[in-house]
Structure 1
Amino acid sequence: MAESKRPTPVTASIHLPAIYRLFFLFIEPVSALVGAYFAHFRQSDYLSMTHAASAPAAAGLDVPVVSNIVLSQLANLYLLFAINEALVLRTTADRRVWRTLLFGLLMADLGHLYALRPLGSDVYWRVDQWNAMSWGNVPFVYLGASMRTAFLFGVGLNGPTTVTKGKRL
């Protein structure tokens, strides 16, 4: 009985400009790991940097159990974010996979920015009031969203798209 060999999938591979590789495969995953670290291991600091006036430390309190749980879950999502970019995107040169994952992350960027609305509209543009958390929550998210939007619109991807069998980045 002859063994049936699985066909190698045919994918549309892409040549990525260095800026996309650097940002999506290195800079952003490391940034997400930093966010995960602070959300899980430095919760009081995380809350204070997000909004000092309402953070438990401002009232001399410990982080409430419910906040501890939610922040650890957030850390887990940051870890997933880092894994998706650093590992999943490294495994394929399929433009459809890249576009699908980056579109999902773009939606997450928009949700992340929308979640800041209780801080007031100043949070989106008052650079002089930003702390380290604000720099990560606003301009870095704008940068990520801009990079994803540029990729989704094909900016810098003008090179020929080739059809290959099993090719990886």
Structure 2
Amino acid sequence: MADTSKDTAAKAAAPKLATTVQLPAVYRLFFLLIEPISALVGAYFAHFRQHDYLSWTHAASAPASAGEIPVVSSVVLSQLANLYLLFTLNEALVLRATADQRVWKTVLFGLLIADLGHLYSLLPLGTDVYWRADLWNAMDYGNVPFVYLGASLRVAFLLGVGFGGRKKITKAKKTA
């Protein structure tokens, strides 16, 4: 006689099957290539070109020369570079390693929260930074519209846009 309680417990403990589908090209292109490269560029500037990074972020409060960057600012910028590197690795390696939508949704949801935090962190620069494209420099283009694009694509992915999952709704025929 089979022990059904063990079978039931084993089934309950078994992981759910992965939901894999062919990911739309726009998501693969942006999340596996464009954004990781962009984050890697950010890491490079935050660690190796700190004066430029600070000047492009807010010239009025940046040190006058590279030699005047406070040690604390240098450490924080290197920590930021490390986070950009983590961002790069999560997208370029973790997402590339799977087509499981649960994994993609989990990673992209976390990055969406980070996008919102990133945009919020710009508030001390004034609200114009969010919409005055005529005032943007290269750093602002990376900090604002590129983040808007990434966040928009994350929301679209999380909502299933582009996966062709719509079901046709047919009207029931009236019988006379």
TM-score (norm 2): 0.83
2:49 pairs with 1:42: yes
SS of equivalent to 1:12 = coil
Distance in 1 (alpha carbons) for counterparts of 2:159 and 2:117: 20
Q: Secondary structure at the match of 2:161?
A: coil
* Higher radius of gyration, 1 or 2: 2
| Greater strand share, structure number | 1
Give the deviation of 1:57 after TM superposition.
Answer: 1.9
Please report how far the alpha carbon of residue 31 of structure 1 lies from its aligned counterpart in structure 2 after TM superposition.
0.1
1:91 pairs with one of 73, 92, 97 = 97
Q: Secondary structure in 2 aligned to 1:118?
A: helix
In structure 2, how many angstroms separate the alpha carbons of the residues matched to 1:127 and 1:34? 21
Counterpart code for 1:26: L
**Root mean square deviation, CA, Å:** 1.8
Contact 1:36 1:74 in 2 (8 A): yes
**After the TM superposition, which segments of 4 or more aligned residues of structure 1 sit over 3 Å from their partners?**
7-10
Q: Which moved more, 1:14-23 or 1:60-69?
A: 60-69
1:87-142 CA-to-partner distances (Å, cap 9, x unmatched) read: 00011111110000000000000000000000000000000100000000000000
Q: Flag the 1:8–1:153 CA change in 2: closer, same or farther, 3 A.
A: closer
> 1:158: Cα distance to partner?
2.1
The CA deviation string for residues 31-77 of structure 1, in whole angstroms up to 9 with x for no partner, is 0000000000000000000000000127x861110000000000000
Equivalent residue, structure 1, for 2:112 = 106
- Total equivalences in the alignment: 153
Contact 1:15/1:159 (8 A) holds in 2: no
Q: Give yes or no for the alignment of 1:132 onto 2:169.
A: no
Q: Which has the higher contact order (CA 8 A, sep 6+)?
A: 1
CA separation in 1, counterparts of 2:126 and 2:110?
26
In structure 1, distance between residues paired with 2:126 and 2:16: 49
- The answer to whether the 8 Å contact 1:29/1:81 transfers is yes
Compute the displacement of 1:15 (Å): 1.3
2:67 and 2:92 mapped to 1: Cα distance?
37
For structure 1, the 5+ residue unaligned runs are: 1-6, 161-169
Structure 1 Cα separation of the partners of residues 145 and 16 of structure 2: 39
